[in-house]
């Protein structure tokens, strides 16, 4: 998922998608431990998606705090 797509999401959508991605990462790690994954890049892509989502959440929090002050 691209950062521009994340910016278009609402706060609720971002937090829901973040929860989904975190659960997916746990499942991928477990599956990778037991057997090899077909595409090991899934782990890296999922981690990058999580980082992008957390960054966008933080930007929104900082922006909201800046507007309120």
What does the block give as tokens for 35? 């057997």
Total structural domains within the chain? 1
Long-range contacts formed by 58-66: CB under 8 A, 24+ apart: 60/11, 60/14
Domain of residue 30 covers: 3-68
Query: How confident is residue 56, by pLDDT bands cut at 50, 70 and 90?
Result: very high
Angle ∠(29,58,62) on CA atoms, nearest 5: 170
**6-46 per-position pLDDT tens digit:** 999 999 999 999 999 999 999 999 999 999 999 999 999 99
């Amino acid at each position: 998922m691209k950062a521009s797509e994340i910016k278009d999401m609402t706060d609720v959508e971002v937090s829901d998608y973040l929860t989904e991605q975190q659960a997916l990462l746990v499942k991928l790690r477990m599956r990778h431990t037991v057997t090899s994954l077909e595409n090991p890049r899934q782990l890296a892509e999922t981690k990058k998606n999580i980082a992008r989502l957390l960054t966008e959440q933080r930007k929104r929090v900082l922006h909201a705090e800046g507007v309120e002050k």
